[in-house]
């Protein structure tokens, strides 16, 4: 009986696609909320998607902690209406860690290209929520 219970639990763990954004609603929400909050200019909500001790490396700058990351967004994008459009998104995962690789364009509301960026983001499930813990981007 114990072997049967172990086999059932093992099968569930192996076959569950818990870190697939297409099937995991919480992970999908964390990934889409980033773009939605960015496009709304809601920098507090963007920062809330990061872990307290997250790090972000951009071209020439490094930020540690949620508050520093929030200040980066305010200083770099605050007060302007930008639209981020992601494409070429790929991900790899292992239980509570997801690594995304993504390219995106940031344009003005009128459609003028501001920058194209390629970034890698590492998310970890913390207290049931997916949070960015590391991020690195570079202009394309």
pTM here? 0.79
pLDDT digits (tens, 9 = 90+) for 90-118: 877 777 888 888 899 999 888 999 889 99
Q: Hey, how many other C-beta atoms are within 10 angstroms of the C-beta on 111?
A: 7
Is the four-CA dihedral 71, 93, 140, 34 of positive or negative sign?
negative
| Domains in the chain: boundaries | 19-139
**Among candidate residues 52, 54, 46, 43, the one with its CA nearest the CA of residue 30:** 46
Distance (Å, whole) CA 125 – CA 78: 28
> What mean pLDDT do residues 124-137 have?
89
Could you tell me the fold of the domain covering 19-139?
Nuclear Transport Factor 2; Chain: A, (3.10.450)
pLDDT at position 138 is: 85
pLDDT at 123 over 60: yes
Residue 89 pLDDT: 79
pLDDT of residue 11: 43
C-alpha–C-alpha distance, residues 68 and 59, integer Å: 16
Helix ranges (H only) for the chain are 2-15, 25-40, 43-48, 66-77
Strand partners for 86: 104
């Amino acid at each position: 009986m114990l072997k049967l219970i172990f086999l059932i639990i093992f099968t569930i763990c192996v076959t569950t696609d818990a870190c697939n954004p297409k099937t995991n609603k919480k992970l999908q929400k964390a990934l889409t909320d980033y773009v939605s909050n960015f496009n709304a200019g809601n920098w507090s909500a963007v920062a809330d998607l990061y872990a307290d001790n997250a790090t972000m490396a951009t071209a020439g700058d490094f930020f540690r902690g949620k508050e520093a990351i929030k200040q980066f967004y305010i200083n770099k994008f605050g007060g302007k209406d930008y639209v981020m459009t992601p494409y070429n998104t790929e991900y790899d995962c292992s239980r509570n860690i997801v690594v995304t690789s993504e390219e995106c364009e940031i344009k003005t509301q009128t459609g003028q290209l501001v920058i194209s960026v390629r970034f890698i983001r590492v998310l970890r499930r913390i207290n049931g929520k997916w949070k960015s813990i590391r991020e690195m981007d570079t202009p394309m």
